[in-house]
Chain A
Amino acid sequence: MKKAGTYLLLVLLAFFFLFPVVFMLVSSLKNEEMQIIRDMSGLLGFIPYGDLGFQNYRDVFRQMNFGRFMFNSVFITCSTVVGGLLVNSMIAYALARLRFRGRRLILAVIVALIIIPNESVVIPLLLMVNRMGWIDSYHVQIVPYIADAFSIFLFYQFFINLPRELDEAAIVDGASRARIYWKLIIPLSRPVFASVAILQSIFRWGEFLWPLMVTRGEAYRPLPVAIQQFFSQDPKVWGDIFAFASMITIPLLVLFLLFQKWFVRSVAASGIKG
């Protein structure tokens, strides 16, 4: 009896968390705009029936440069994440496993920098990149977000717990520090690399405030800004909006389903500060 209650609760909550996304996906497949509007007030909105197809998706591609927006988002997210993995793990490796003067000070500064929210620096940063002529480009959306104090902290915590003997044995064998980092530390640290990559991908993919400020035309516009602009136009064509929204959601959702365990682990890791 108690078990049945648990399942009932689990299922009800599953509906609560799923229904908006299901609604979006189902509506995006309904070719007839009038049907979407008619179905919106009840359960019919969740049932794929009637004239189904990919007309809305075709419309999105036809009406705007969707391919370009998609490429922009993929390129910006991947560059930032990959660059960040390299740059942040390198400094974390030095801080965790090398002895040098200034180590403690740098570590303290990095930990303090975690507190500074992006939102409190965007305005001066905007002035800066404006003077540098970086507005409307890829690098303006990539370079400022590569180094990340919190990622460094996550890497540091992982590296410091790897056994010391590893490096020492390798050094006796005559390996250089760079080689140890590349051939020994990175392969042993896959979990933390996966965690940082996943967390950063979620954040970068959805980034909104910064690209809103630094992109003008369509050439470098990422998906969240593109859909917001499309959404703001009247009259709204909901079939197209839902198709657009689905195409932003599906890539990350698929990644999430494939690497589900890693996602959960990485989020749990982000809470270990406490």
Chain B
Amino acid sequence: MEAARARKKTTGSSGLQKQRRQEGRTAWLFSAPALLLLTVFLVAPFLMAFAFAFTNQRLIPNPNLPTEFIGLRNFLRLLMDTTFYRALSNNFIFAAVVVPIQTAFALALAMLVNRKVRYVNLFRTIYFSPVVTTMVVVSIVWFFLFNPGEGFINQALKFLTFGRARPLDWLRSPRLAFPAIMFFSVWQGVGFQMIIFLAGLQDIPAELYEAAQVDGAGSWRRFASVTLPQLRNTTIFVVVATTILAFKLFTQVWVLTRGGPQNATMTTIVMLYRQGFQELRVGYASSIAVLFFLIVLVISLMQRLFLREGRDT
């Protein structure tokens, strides 16, 4: 070490090299805490999930049931698990219904609060406020609003249909529980996407609209030929982020229905929690985690694919 340093000194560029080396050392010092934490609490458990998925690992070791490699048995069992099918298809249904509605709603809201009218800031604040309301609280308040019989939603529907709508038992009905959860999930989350769209709208150069106006484009054509194409990347981001959230669905369901009635609101993460935490089946839950991750990965990769395409044109 000393000799090497001495030799470098004689070459003349020692000052610069020493500075470089010190810069490198500082950089690693600055990076070390985050790298250590990410390795231990993200990368390691992530790799463990892949390893556990092929074993019968349990949360609390059972002396009669030693942990062993069981190949693809967890995945084969998942394939035959009707609850898992229900969970996965529920996530897809949630995404298929909520993502288009929430995206379109968010865009409409963003365009509305992008208008130059007075108090518009107040309305932005109001539309965004559900986002800062904790999901557990949101779920509990909506549980009360969805009360069977005399609940506010039932009464509001009765009022809006001039007394024709019969009161429904929203959260205890296998047919209605999931739509009810979808409804207030959109209510809670749409403000977030609205702000992202708003930022996108404000980045669109005003000249584009002026040029379209000169060409005699009406408001609908301006929307179709300027706004939508200019918001392309923003929209892709919003769609992908909302889709991933749809697959993470847990809190609302756990607070209100725990996956019931009759698995009507079962989701992938509810199942993961039940298997891994309540049934202590770490191996089986890990195989769910692996499939869940692969789905999220495919969705994310699709975003990158579309984005790249967008940049080329």
The yes or no verdict on A and B being binding partners is yes
The CA-CA distance from A209 to B276 in the complex, in Å, is 12
If A41-B152, A143-B41 touch, does A21 touch B290 (CB 8 Å cutoff)? no
**In contact, B135 and A206 (Cβ under 8 angstroms):** yes
Most chain B C-beta atoms within 10 Å of own C-beta, residue among A7, A121, A128, A178:
A121
Which DSSP category, helix, strand, loop or mixed, fits chain B's interface?
A: helix
Tell me the residues in window 274-313 of chain B with beta carbons closer than 8 Å to chain A beta carbons: 276-277, 282, 285-286, 289-290, 292-293, 296-297, 300, 307
Interface flags for B41-61 (1: CB within 8 Å of A; 0: not) read 111111011001000010110
B141 neighbours in A (Cβ, 8 Å) = 20-21, 23-24, 242, 245
Tell me the residues in window 8-35 of chain A with beta carbons closer than 8 Å to chain B beta carbons: 9-10, 13-14, 16-18, 20-21, 23-24
**In contact, A20 and B248 (Cβ under 8 angstroms):** no
**In contact, A124 and B41 (Cβ under 8 angstroms):** no
B42 neighbours in A (Cβ, 8 Å) = 113, 116, 121, 147, 149
Range for the number of chain A residues in contact with chain B: 35 or more
**In contact, A98 and B23 (Cβ under 8 angstroms):** yes
Min Cβ gap B74→A in Å is 12
Min Cβ gap B131→A in Å is 7
Q: Does B191 contact A (CB under 8 A)?
A: yes
If A120-B49, A213-B273 touch, does A90 touch B134 (CB 8 Å cutoff)? no
- Other-chain residue from B130, B195, B277 in contact with A126 (beta carbon distance below 8 A): B277
**In contact, B136 and A208 (Cβ under 8 angstroms):** yes
**In contact, B41 and A147 (Cβ under 8 angstroms):** yes
* Closest A residue by C-beta to B191: A17
The CA-CA distance from A64 to B41 in the complex, in Å, is 33
Min Cβ gap B255→A in Å is 5
- Other-chain residue from B123, B130, B277, B293 in contact with A117 (beta carbon distance below 8 A): B293
**In contact, B151 and A143 (Cβ under 8 angstroms):** no
If A209-B273, A273-B237 touch, does A253 touch B282 (CB 8 Å cutoff)? no
**In contact, B46 and A121 (Cβ under 8 angstroms):** yes
Q: Does B192 contact A (CB under 8 A)?
A: yes
Interface flags for A68-107 (1: CB within 8 Å of B; 0: not) read 0000000000000000000110110111001111010010
Interface flags for A129-165 (1: CB within 8 Å of B; 0: not) read 0100000000000011111010010000000000000
A116 neighbours in B (Cβ, 8 Å) = 42, 46, 293
Min Cβ gap B219→A in Å is 11
If A90-B33, A115-B296, A119-B289 touch, does A177 touch B112 (CB 8 Å cutoff)? no
Interface window among B82-90, B94-102, B142-150, B174-182: B142-150
B34 neighbours in A (Cβ, 8 Å) = 87-88, 90-91, 147, 152
A272 neighbours in B (Cβ, 8 Å) = 199
Q: Does A55 contact B (CB under 8 A)?
A: no
**In contact, A91 and B144 (Cβ under 8 angstroms):** no
**In contact, B123 and A227 (Cβ under 8 angstroms):** no
Q: Does A267 contact B (CB under 8 A)?
A: yes
Tell me the residues in window 250-287 of chain B with beta carbons closer than 8 Å to chain A beta carbons: 250-251, 254-255, 269, 272-273, 276-277, 282, 285-286
* Closest A residue by C-beta to B46: A121
Tell me the residues in window 164-194 of chain B with beta carbons closer than 8 Å to chain A beta carbons: 184, 187, 191-192
B192 neighbours in A (Cβ, 8 Å) = 267
**In contact, B115 and A6 (Cβ under 8 angstroms):** yes
The CA-CA distance from A216 to B237 in the complex, in Å, is 38
A228 neighbours in B (Cβ, 8 Å) = 136, 254-255
* Closest A residue by C-beta to B233: A274
22 pairs from A and B in contact (CB 8 Å cutoff) = A10-B119, A13-B112, A13-B127, A20-B130, A20-B138, A20-B141, A42-B152, A90-B34, A106-B35, A121-B45, A124-B46, A127-B52, A147-B33, A147-B38, A147-B41, A177-B30, A213-B277, A231-B143, A256-B128, A264-B128, A273-B237, A274-B233
Q: Which residues of A contact B (CB under 8 A)?
A: 3, 6-7, 9-10, 13-14, 16-18, 20-21, 23-24, 40-42, 45, 87-88, 90-91, 93-95, 98-101, 103, 106, 110, 113, 115-117, 119-128, 130, 143-147, 149, 152, 176-178, 181, 202, 205-206, 208-209, 212-213, 223-224, 227-228, 231, 238, 241-242, 245, 248-249, 252-253, 255-257, 260, 263-264, 267-268, 270-274
- Name 9 extra pairs, CB < 8 A, besides A94-B30, A241-B140: A122-B45, A123-B285, A209-B273, A213-B277, A228-B136, A253-B133, A267-B128, A268-B195, A274-B234
Q: Which 10 A-B pairs have the closest CB atoms?
A: A271-B196, A268-B199, A147-B37, A274-B237, A124-B48, A274-B233, A124-B45, A100-B27, A123-B276, A91-B34
